[in-house]
Amino acid sequence: MSYLFKDTERAAHRLHIFANMFASSSRPFLQAVVGTAPEVAIDLGCGPGYTTRLLAEVTQCK
């Protein structure tokens, strides 16, 4: 399986733009649906980790 936009700096930049664009609406949503901080979070093939980083910040999971 291959990532549609390939593993390039341009693709990472595109994902960074999307992450920034959706962070302001994703943050309150995550705060509302995550009741307690999880003990473990696993990132499996989630690109450069922008969304994973947001999830970790909101849930205070390390």
Sequential pLDDT tens for the chain (62 residues): 555 656 788 888 888 999 999 999 999 998 898 888 888 777 777 778 888 888 888 888 76
Instruction: Quote the pLDDT of residue 41.
Output: 74
Domain residues for the domain of 26 are 9-59
Q: Is residue 18 part of a domain?
A: yes
The H or E element spanning position 45 is: none
What is the per-residue pLDDT for 21? 94
- Asked whether residue 2 is assigned to any structural domain, the reply reads no
Task: Report residue 4 as tokens.
Answer: 């549609």
Q: Measured in whole angstroms, how far is the alpha carbon of residue 53 from the centre of its chain?
A: 5
CA distances from 42 to 5, 52, 55 (A): 23, 9, 11
Whether the full predicted model's pTM is greater than 0.85, yes or no, is no
Q: Specify if 1 maps to a domain.
A: no
Task: With respect to residue 35, please indicate whether it lies within any of the assigned structural domains.
Answer: yes
**Res 25: pLDDT:** 92
Residue 5 contacts residue 11 (beta carbons within 8 Å) = yes
Distance CA 33, CA 4 (A): 30
Tell me how many domains the chain contains: 1
